Structure 1
Amino acid sequence: MSHCTKFEFSYVNEETIAKAFGKMGIKPATDLVSVFTSDFSKKILGKIGYMGKQQFRAICGQTADKFNLFVCKIEEGSYKLLIERGMISSDDEAIMADLALSFQKAYISVAIDETIRRIDASGVPARVKETFQGFEIEFGPNYEYGIHVTFTGNEITEEVHGVKGDICTKLTEELESLLSSPTTELVTEWKPEYTVVHEEQTLQILSANL
C-alpha cells in the first residue's frame, strides 16, 4: 500500500449529484427550495406567498414511494442533502436514513466510475467491485493493483495497494476532488512504497497518461 488517506465527505459536484440520482433510478430536476421554520409557516404562510427564511437552488427528485430528495446548493462547491415526505409515518425516519445512505453510496459510485474511466483511458484495464463498506478499484493487466474506498458516516478512507512511486497520488486526485471540499483537510499516511521509483511498465503507462 502506497498511502492511506482519510477525509470528511462532502457533496461538491453538480454533475456527479445528477448522475447519482440516475444510479438510484430517479430522474433529477432543478428547483428552488425554501426552508421554513415551522409547519405553520410552510403550510399556511406558504400558501399566501411566504418564501421561508432561506431559499436554495437544488437538484431534486422523488422516489417511487413519494420521498423527496433535495441536494441544495449552500454555497459554491458545497451541497447538502435534505429528504422529506408530505405525510410522515412512524417508519419514515429509518427509511429516510437508508435513503440518505443510498444516495451517498450512489454519489461515491459515480466518483469511482470517473476514476475507472481515467485509468481505462490511460490504456490500463480497470474494474470495480462493491464491498460491504465501499468499493474496490482493481487495475493492471492482471488487476494486481487496487484502490480501496470505504465510507463510514461522513468519513472517507482511501487505500492504494501495490502501487510504487508518486503515481499513487495521481490515481486518487479525481476521488478527492469529487468527494471533498477544497478546504477539507486530507490526512495521509505514507507507506515505504511511496519513495520507490516505479519500474513496472503498467505504472509507467499510468504516470505518463493520467
Structure 2
Amino acid sequence: MSHCTKFEFTYTDEEAIAKAFVKLGLEPTTALVAEFNSDFSKKALGPLGYMGKRQFRAICARAENGFNFFACKIEDPVYTLLIERESRSPGDEVIMADLASRFQRAYVGVAIDATLRRIEATGIPARLQESADGFEVEFGSNYEYSVRVTLSGNEVKEEVFGVKGDICTTLTQELESLLASPSAELLTEWKPEYTVVHEEQTLQILSARL
C-alpha cells in the first residue's frame, strides 16, 4: 500500500448527485426549495405563497411510496441530503435511513466510475469490484494495482495498493474532490512505497497520461 486516507464524506458535485439519482432509477430535477419554521407554516401558509424563512437550490427526485429526495445547497459549496414524505407513517425513519444509505452508496459509485474511466482512458485495463462496504478499482495487465474505497457511516477510507511513487495521489485526486469538502481534513498515512521511484511500465503510463 502506498497510502491510506480517511476523511468525512460530503456531497460536493451537482452532476455527480444527478448521476447518483439515475443510478437508483430516479429522474432528477432542479428546484428552489424552502425551509419552514414548522409543519403548520409549511402546510397552512405554503399554499398561500409563503416561501419560508430561507430558500435553497436543490436537485430533487421522487422515490417509491411518496418519499422525496432533496440534495440542497444550504452552505456553498457542499450539498445536504434531505428525505421527506408529506404524510408521515410509523417506520418512516427506518425507510428514510435506508434510502439515504442507498443514495450515498450510489453517489460514491459515481465517483468510483469516474476514477475507472480515467484509468481506462490511459489504455490500461481496469475493472470494478463491489462489496457490501465499498468499491475497488483494480488495474494493470494482471490487475495487480488497486484503489479501494470503504464507506462507514460518514467516514470514507481510500487505500491505494501496489502503486509506487507519488502517482497514487493523482489516482485519488478526483475521488477526494467528489467525496470531501474543500475544507475537509484529510488524514493520510504514507507508506514506504510512496517514496519509491516507479519504474513499472504501467505506472509510467499512468504518470504521463492521468
Instruction: Give the alignment's TM-score, normalised by structure 2.
Output: 0.98
Aligned to 1:121: 121
Aligned to 1:184: 184
Measure, in 1, the Cα distance between the counterparts of 2:196 and 2:38: 59
Measure, in 2, the Cα distance between the counterparts of 1:154 and 1:105: 11
Instruction: Give the alignment's TM-score, normalised by structure 1.
Output: 0.98
> Shift of the alpha carbon at 1:48?
1.5
1:69-121 deviation per Cα after TM superposition (whole angstroms, max 9, x unaligned): 00001233210000000111111100000000000000000000000010001
User: Is 1:51–2:55 an aligned residue pair?
Assistant: no
Which letter does structure 1 place at the counterpart of 2:73?
K
User: Is 1:65–2:65 an aligned residue pair?
Assistant: yes
Which letter does structure 2 place at the counterpart of 1:104?
Q
Measure, in 2, the Cα distance between the counterparts of 1:159 and 1:52: 44
Measure, in 1, the Cα distance between the counterparts of 2:125 and 2:52: 51
Unaligned runs of 5+ in 1: none
Measure, in 1, the Cα distance between the counterparts of 2:19 and 2:137: 19
Which letter does structure 1 place at the counterpart of 2:208?
A
Aligned to 2:197: 197
Map 1:33-182 to 2 at 5 A: 33-182=33-182
Measure, in 1, the Cα distance between the counterparts of 2:200 and 2:157: 26
Unaligned runs of 5+ in 2: none
Which letter does structure 1 place at the counterpart of 2:197?
V
Residue 64 of structure 2 aligns to a residue whose secondary structure is coil
Measure, in 2, the Cα distance between the counterparts of 1:18 and 1:162: 33
Residue 178 of structure 1 aligns to a residue whose secondary structure is helix
Residue 44 of structure 1 aligns to a residue whose secondary structure is helix
